[in-house]
Structure 1
Amino acid sequence: MHNRQLFLSHLAQTTDFPLMIEIEKAEGLYMYGPNGERYLDLISGIGVSNVGHRHPKVLQAMKDQMDKYLHLMVYGEYIQTPQTQLAEALVQTLPDGLDNVYLVNSGSEAVEGALKLAKRYSNRRGIISCVNAYHGSSHGSLSVGGNEIFKRAYRPLLPGISHIHFGKEEDLEDITTDTAAVIMETVQGEAGIRVASESYFKALRKKCDETGTLLILDEIQAGFGRTGKFWAFEHYGIQPDILVCAKGMGGGMPIGAFISSKEIMGHFKNDPLLGHITTFGGHPVSAAASLATIKILQEENIVELVEMKANLFKELLVHPKIKEVRNKGLLMCVAFESFEELKPIIDRAIEMGVVTDWFLFCDDSMRLAPPLVITKEEIKEACEIILKAIEYKA
């Protein structure tokens, strides 16, 4: 059987219409098929490959670690250098009060840990999230998701969840002394790149402080330089009580984390002990890859150039069918009239060698989240192909 047949026969499918692109190799901005096809990746595996595919420094860090050891013990028992060095590097990017890191395997798992921590610390049960929020697909993270289409088949979910509208200051009155936590994407991703104002985030922080509510910021998509700052919350003059990250964190390897203060995180140690457990969290090879990714972002002037690159996309992507381009850095959304208009454009762009996508809760808009290392020339090439795909007539 060919790979295509094996894929359809033996791998669980998530839709009836997978992209079915076969990739043999990837490097930098490009992915390559078995017959010489070349695809310019404008979605980074959905926000993962911030430093590009197979960055040599990430590969070297992984190889060096593989020569030492792989999994040794469930998370939190042995002192493992990749974990301790990664935690230190993460803390150094963060303000005081975010100094304790719990390493996990994915963004959804990080959200689960953050929700448990908020309940355990506050001894409250109410959780507030946003309409059209996306925080993952496991039961807890799905419960705080904000789109009923993806939730209704799996109810009952967690009780005590309510939703407010992102960026709507009057909704903050829903936060009370019964609220354990507000969980919010710093930039809403699957809603189609929705950005709130600095005044909104400051009002949110103030309301959480007044009610003793923990603020969880989800930067699974927005973190690690994606918005033009290392962390997206840096744009708004606030900080969360718990920060959630994953995706661009690992340089292509699976890893996530939730980060808080040592005082808050310490509540996992007692009553009950082992309050959160993960077998593979902070896997040594993934941790080594993540540490290398942080160093690349810090040392190679990548984050500082994000805004310039985003502006170049916006300058070039001008067409009557493009209704709007929304962005926070290189977390970008190109709006069209409808999904029916957009989907053939995405398909044609892929045929022409540029991979884009749409958003779960905003299917009339094209997702652009290229590796942050994309060059001006690659941006021009990509935009030229997208415009050709818009103009194409069969």
Structure 2
Amino acid sequence: MPNEGSFEAALRRSDQIQRDLLVHPEDYTMLTGDRPTGRLHLGHYFGTIKERIRLQDLGVSTNVIIADYQVITDRDSTEHIADNVLDMVTDYLACGIDPARTMIFTHSAVPAANQLMLPFLSLVTEAEMSRNPTVKAEQAASGHALTGLLLTYPVHQACDILFCKGNIVPVGRDQLPHIEMASKVARRFNERYGKVFPDVAGLLSSTPLIPGLDGRKMSKSYGNAISIGMSEAETAKLIKRSRTDSERTITFDPEARPGVSALLTTAAICTGRTPEEIAAEIGAGGAGQLKRYVTEAVNGYFAPIRERRRKFEGEPDFVRDVLHEGNRRANEIAERTLDEVREAMGMVY
């Protein structure tokens, strides 16, 4: 029997929940979100947004947080943050997130949710926060001294999940430590003060990691990401100038041929085919034929999404209204939860 804290145990639990979701979607509340540090790209869409829409359409209570406060965990500026937030809402709507069924809101607009940080921080140790892999990785990447906000990042995520009584969070394997922290906080609070919060589980994604066009992690900062909001021409230009290699015959080999393999992976996920199948079809057609194939695959898949996006770009007041309504609803929920917390802690005077 694998260790209950192991990946195998998390995967087993995730599979059980996936089966139950089809029968009892009303038993689940999902919370997930993004940091508004730049434009959403294909990695975000296939990695998380599609799953949010699936859960929404199943009838799960779905909540999406735009984590604007978390931008400053590893950045010194909030320049362009307002544009990034509204652009993110526009992408969500274009992709199929329905504000009538999914609550979209921002960290900074929901003070009662952030106030949960105070009791929650009393439930964890500095050592538990310091050894979180994301905290370590973000600190190393930023080159900055460890800030208090970055150190407490996993606890802030617990606030995001628990203020709305979230019990499932779509994650990749590398994000499981965040779920473990949220579950630990909920369990310790309930043991100390009485049952308020649900148990939290990670809903593990089966979607393969989509590399950037150069084979590295897809990232706007690397210039290797196809943004959801790009035009057809911009997409074609980016794919055309992506680096491949001098070998004419196209094969799928992520280790030896990262650029070619990244293009094949992108085409595969947009067409529902396998990278090997596409490689065999192109054969000796070379990088030029591969890039044309990938361009058609991406632009074909995202054509209806981009058409809807252009519509929402022309309705900025509607986009703002969606966010304002989500913030209003989130505040109502957060205030109720904070009242429950105060009552459980004997802090109603």
Q: If the length of structure 1 is used for normalisation, what is the TM-score?
A: 0.24
Q: Give the structure with the higher percent strand.
A: 1
Q: Give the structure with the higher percent helix.
A: 2
